[in-house]
Amino acid sequence: MIEQVLEILRNNRLAAMATVDPDGWPHCTTVGIANDRARIYFVIARGSQKLIDIERDDRVSMAIGRDVIDPSSIRALAIKARASVVEDPAERKRALELLFDKRPALKKLDEPDDRHSAVMVAVPEEIRLLDYSKGYGHSTLLKLDPDGTVREAEDQHHDWGYGSNIPPMN
């Protein structure tokens, strides 16, 4: 199951990420991502609302996937994670390498200056793997240990009223 998660992370460069604003409202933006196993890296501005929110409440939610024509080919992730600034210089260097490798155009820019930007890591606690090839509304809820090991996995089906069988499009 974790291999399917890692494949989706490998094949996507953007995530919608929500933080919790001081007034309790979700603050959702798009971030460029790279991953090392289940650890998800991104860079944000030091003065951004995202960093202000994360420093106050480290809980983030991420949605990762892509648009498809055929609903039976939907594969996506909904993630609950704890985010923090990467403080370790070796991990920061590795995170930037992963981000630059995922988006080669970034190599034309200067390396993010630590005074102005923060290299961040999101460590998932729960990942919902949506896989509609198993039926419309099918997902598997994965609960993870801090090292990314799957502790629990539970298949779930959410009835949207469309029926659960989607014939593949030709």
Q: On the CB side of 12, how many CA atoms lie within 13 Å of its CA?
A: 23
CATH number, span 2-157: 2.30.110.10
Average pLDDT, the chain: 92
Q: What percent of the chain has pLDDT over 90?
A: 75
- How big is the chain, counted in residues? 170
Whole-angstrom CA distances from 125 to 44, 69, 149 are 21, 30, 10
Distance of CA 120 to the CA centre of its chain: 12
Using one digit for the tens of pLDDT, what is the confidence trace for 115-135?
899 999 999 999 999 998 888
Residues 38-49 have a mean pLDDT of 96
Q: How far is CA 78 from CA 81, 115, 128, in A?
A: 10, 31, 5
Is 53 a residue whose pLDDT tops 70?
A: yes
pLDDT over threshold 80, residue 45: yes
Average pLDDT over residues 20-41: 96
**Averaged pLDDT, 93-107:** 92
**pTM (two decimals):** 0.91
- For residue 18, the tally of other CB atoms under 10 A from its CB is 18
**How far is the C-alpha of 144 from the C-alpha of 150, rounded, in Å?**
5
Asked whether the predicted pLDDT for residue 158 surpasses 90, the reply is no
How confident is the model at residue 165, as a pLDDT?
66
3-class DSSP assignment, residue 40: strand
115 backbone dihedrals φ, ψ, rounded to 5°? -75, -25
Domain map (residue ranges) of the chain: 2-157
- The pLDDT confidence band at residue 36, using thresholds 50, 70 and 90, is very high
- Looking at the predicted structure, is the pLDDT value of residue 72 above 90? no
Q: How many CB atoms lie within 10 A of CB 59?
A: 15
